[in-house]
Each structure stands twice: as structure tokens, then as C-alpha cells.
Amino acid sequence: MSGQAVTQKWTNGPWKVQTWRVVDSRGEGGIATTVICDTANNAKTRTDENQANALLISKAPEMYEMLRIALTLPGPRSIAEEVWRKRVESLLASLERGI
């Protein structure tokens, strides 16, 4: 997987949270240009849990990039690390296929 060019199908990061929505923060002056997702579609569903979900989702581009970087590190040195590496490779492959 390392060294391969990846054509991503998602909006580039960074993303940021605006209350319960996750938005693309690359717009001019930090103004959102794309709503990535809205975790609360009405006032009754605007909860702390939905806000926490929005925060987790907003970190997806950074987490994806960190996993790609982790796979370029030397290793594995243990069976546990090999298992982790295979799971990360599988996760990234499914993301890159759009699943």
C-alpha cells in the first residue's frame, strides 16, 4: 500500500465543527464551503452526543493521514504489530475503494 498514489473520493481536510455540523474549513477566511455532515437535523436531536460525533468525524482526514504515515514506518517487530498493520491496511483499502 505504501508508495501507491491514492485517489480519494472525499473532501480534503481540514474539516472543522460548527456546533453539530462538520464542514470543510478550506474556504476563504476559514468560511465553510462544504457541509460534510450534519449530526443533528433538528433542535430535538442536538445533544452533546451529536456534538461529540461531529468532533470525531471532523478528525477523519487527520486520522487517515496518520494511518498512512504509520504504515511507512519500519516494522513489524512483533506479531501484535503485524496484526495491527494488516488491520490498518484493510481499513485504508476499504476507504480508498469507497466502502
pLDDT tens for each residue of the chain, 99 residues long:
444 555 667 777 778 887 777 888 766 665 666 778 887 776 676 777 778 888 888 888 888 888 888 888 887 788 888 898 899 999 888 888 875
CB atoms within 10 A of CB 6: 11
Please report the pLDDT score of residue 42 as a whole number.
67
Q: How high is the pLDDT of residue 90?
A: 92
Q: Residue 18 has what pLDDT?
A: 77
Q: Which residue in this structure is represented by grid cell 475503494? A: 97
Residue 3 backbone class (left: φ over 0; alpha: ψ -120 to 50; beta: rest): left
Q: What is the pLDDT of residue 79?
A: 87
- For cell 481540514, what's the residue? 14
Asked whether 66 and 57 are in contact (CB, 8 A), the reply is no
Tell me the angle at which helices 60-70 and 79-97 cross, rounded to the nearest 10 degrees. 130
The pLDDT score that the predictor gives to residue 29 is 60
Q: Cα–Cα distance between 2 and 67 in angstroms, integer? A: 11
